[in-house]
Amino acid sequence: LYEVDARLRPSGAAGMLVTTADAFADYQQNEAWTWEHQALVRARVVYGDPELQARFDAIRRDILTTPREGEKLQTEVREMREKMRAHLGNKHHDRFDIKADAGGITDIEFITQYLVLRYASDKPKLTRWSDNVRILELLAQNDIMDEAEARALTHAYTTLRDALHHLALQEQPGNVAPEAFSQEREQVSASWQKWLMA
């Protein structure tokens, strides 16, 4: 159903594979890195006990609505993305990696995660959904991002995601000609500059 990277858990490879809700909450409140809170923006329960789901949702909401210092958060999110680019950067310099390259899917995800973490303390409704499309809608509805930009990023995200899925179904790598998706990439790059470089 879902591919799971077990290294991405509280305390990494040294941490327990399964933890209690209280231990998870304590870790998120006292030890988690910003990138772990970014991941929490996208986290959701897919199946299980309704009580446990309610507890997880409450922990998630509490963490995401924690007030944060905007400039520090911006720097941490931007630096994490730069580390990812350096570590996971496109090995095909003559191609555009739809997910990982600048202007791609991961940049859109980081923009939405940053904005939820930055503004959810004042606008807790931003924590309602975990998917990028509905988060972008909420950002526009809550006057954080203008509607035209939210629509353009949604279009870019769905276009890039659909192309990536299409390539995956054909068992093809997720990279395309360097001129592909130039309009979408320009929009994503402009939004990246606006929100994470300003």
- Global pTM? 0.93
Helices (H) then strands (E): counts for the chain: 8, 2
Q: Checking phi first, is residue 49 left (phi over 0); if not, alpha (psi -120 to 50) or beta?
A: beta
Stated as kind and residue range, the H or E segment containing 136 is helix 132-141
In the predicted model, what is the mean pLDDT of residues 69-80?
98
Express each pLDDT in 156-178 by its tens digit. 999 999 999 999 999 999 999 99
Cβ contact 85:122 at 8 Å: no
User: CA 89, 90, 92 angle in degrees (round to 5)?
Assistant: 155
**What is the per-residue pLDDT for 90?**
64
pLDDT score of 14: 81
Reported as half-sphere exposure (CB side, CA atoms, 13 A), residue 12 has a value of 2
| Residue 97 DSSP SS3 | strand
Residue 192: alpha-carbon gap to chain centroid? 13
CA 86 to chain centroid, in Å, comes to 18
4-21 average pLDDT score: 81
Minimal CA–CA distance to 178: which of 91, 94, 88? Answer: 94
Q: What domains sit in the chain, N to C, each tagged with a CATH number?
A: 12-64 (no CATH), 70-197 (1.20.120.330)
Counting Cβ atoms within 10 Å, is residue 80 exposed (0-12), middle (13-18) or buried (19+)? Answer: middle
Overall residue count recorded for the chain in this entry: 198
For residue range 95-151, list pLDDT tens digits in order. 999 999 999 999 999 999 999 999 999 999 999 999 999 999 999 999 999 999 999
Question: Residue 5 is which amino acid?
Answer: D
